[in-house]
């Protein structure tokens, strides 16, 4: 079929075409209007030490410290991707994680090692207060796990996790972007609806 034939089909079924477009746009606005409010949160974790190793002959601790910190940062990232850790965090925050599946718990927190001593954690919460509680719980659980690793060693140079204040922002979408996106999706779907109806006729 040539382009002019497609245009003629759309002209013949323009009521159906625009009806589908309007329905999709209304559905898009209804979805984002009724969607629960969420808050995106970013938390920075700094890996440090509780002390320095005394080596009078050669300060190899300074040389290997960044390498050791980097490996421990990777351990922190792996902790935050574990369902057990996620469940412990929600429990420490006083939130119920019983409705989450194992896969959902594993994806609750997105953690990334940005440098040898810096781990960024991001997650979404239903309220500002919940985001704050979860942030505090992350620090407490990670610190507890860190302390348990050193329980039998009693080293005064063991790792410590220091957190900065979390950045919490309400998730928003621009009305203009929503309008354009729903319009484009509506026109795409309407085009195929019209073609299918034309074919069936």
Pick the CATH number of 39-170 from 3.40.50, 3.30.70, 1.10.760, 1.10.3470: 3.30.70
Whether 58 has a pLDDT exceeding 50, the answer reads: no
- Per DSSP, the three-state class of 51 is coil
pLDDT tens, position by position, 172-189 = 877 788 889 999 999 999
pLDDT tens, position by position, 71-93 = 889 999 999 999 999 999 999 99
**Helical (H) or strand (E) element with 192:** helix 175-200
| Angle at alpha carbon of residue 196, lines to 182 and 17, rounded to 5° | 40
| Angle at alpha carbon of residue 92, lines to 91 and 97, rounded to 5° | 20
Average pLDDT of the residues in 48-65: 59
Position 70 scores a pLDDT of 84
Where do the structural domains in the chain lie, given as residue ranges?
3-35+174-200, 39-170
The residue among 184, 137, 196, 167 whose CA lies nearest residue 28 is 184
Sequence-ordered list of residues with C-beta below 8 angstroms from that of 107, at least 6 positions apart, any chain? none
């Amino acid at each position: 079929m040539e382009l002019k034939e497609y245009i003629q089909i759309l002209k013949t079924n323009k009521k159906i075409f625009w009806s589908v477009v309007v329905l999709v746009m209304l559905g898009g606005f209804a979805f984002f209007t009724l969607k629960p409010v969420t808050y995106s949160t970013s938390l920075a974790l700094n890996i440090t030490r509780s002390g320095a190793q005394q080596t009078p002959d050669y300060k190899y601790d300074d040389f290997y410290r960044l390498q050791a910190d980097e490996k421990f940062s990777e351990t922190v990232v792996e902790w935050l991707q574990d369902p057990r850790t996620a469940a412990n965090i929600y429990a420490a925050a006083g939130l119920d994680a019983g409705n989450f599946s194992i896969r959902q718990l594993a994806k609750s927190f997105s953690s990334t090692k940005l440098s040898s001593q810096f781990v960024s954690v991001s997650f979404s919460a239903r309220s500002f207060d919940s985001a704050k509680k979860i942030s505090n719980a992350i620090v407490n659980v990670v610190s507890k796990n860190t302390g348990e690793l050193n329980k039998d060693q009693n080293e005064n140079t063991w790792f410590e996790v220091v957190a900065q204040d979390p950045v919490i922002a309400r998730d928003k979408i621009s009305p203009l972007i929503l309008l354009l996106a729903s319009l484009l999706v509506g026109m795409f779907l309407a085009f195929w609806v019209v073609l299918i109806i034309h074919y069936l006729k």
